[in-house]
């Protein structure tokens, strides 16, 4: 079972070989303590704690254009809402169209 299949099975309450695990990073002080206790390399760390593969897609979710000040009353909220247009193509990664064929064939999860 690959990372993508495992994630989809988990989200659909299906059977999996194990729960998906996505590494979010370790605090530097934890790594320092583990190195003091004998951890030798980052490759050893990857061997000890295997995680599911994933790819991060960065979307632009900031308001366009950036406001001089944030809305403080309900009437200003409508104008601000137009700055958050989810259909604005500039919010997507530059290589989005070129990446689509590969993304359809991937064996990992996108975030």
Report helix, strand or coil for 20. Answer: coil
What is the average pLDDT across 43-68? 83
Question: What is the C-alpha to C-alpha distance for residues 12 and 24, in angstroms, rounded to an integer?
Answer: 23
Whether residue 41 is predicted with pLDDT greater than 80 in this model: the reply is: no
The predicted structure's pLDDT at residue 62: 93
- Residues 58-105: tens digit of each pLDDT: 889 999 899 999 999 988 898 899 899 989 888 988 888 888 888 888
CA dist., res. 109 & res. 78, Å (int): 35
Give the model's pLDDT for residue 48: 79
**Domain assignments of the chain as residue spans, ordered by start:** 1-57+96-111, 59-92
**53 pLDDT above the threshold of 70:** yes
Check residue 43 and give its pLDDT.
Answer: 66
Model confidence at 15, pLDDT cuts 50, 70, 90, reads very high
Mean pLDDT of the chain: 86
SS (H, E, C) 41-101: CHHHHHHHCCCCCEECCCCCCCCCCCCCCCCCCHHHHHHHHHHHCCCCHHHCCCCHHHHHH
CB-CB contact of 23 with 51 (8 Å):
yes
Evaluate if residue 5 carries a pLDDT over 80.
yes
Identify which has the larger pLDDT, 111 or 82. Answer: 82
């Amino acid at each position: 079972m690959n990372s993508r299949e495992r994630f989809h099975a988990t989200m659909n309450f299906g059977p999996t070989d194990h729960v998906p695990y996505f590494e979010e990073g370790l605090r530097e002080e934890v790594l320092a303590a583990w190195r003091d206790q004998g951890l030798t390399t980052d490759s050893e760390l990857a061997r000890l704690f295997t995680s599911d593969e994933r790819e991060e897609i960065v979307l632009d979710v900031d308001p366009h254009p950036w406001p001089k000040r944030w809305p403080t009353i309900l009437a200003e909220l409508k104008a601000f809402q137009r700055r958050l247009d989810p259909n604005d193509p500039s919010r997507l990664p530059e290589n989005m169209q070129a990446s689509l064929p590969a993304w359809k064939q991937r064996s990992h999860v996108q975030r």
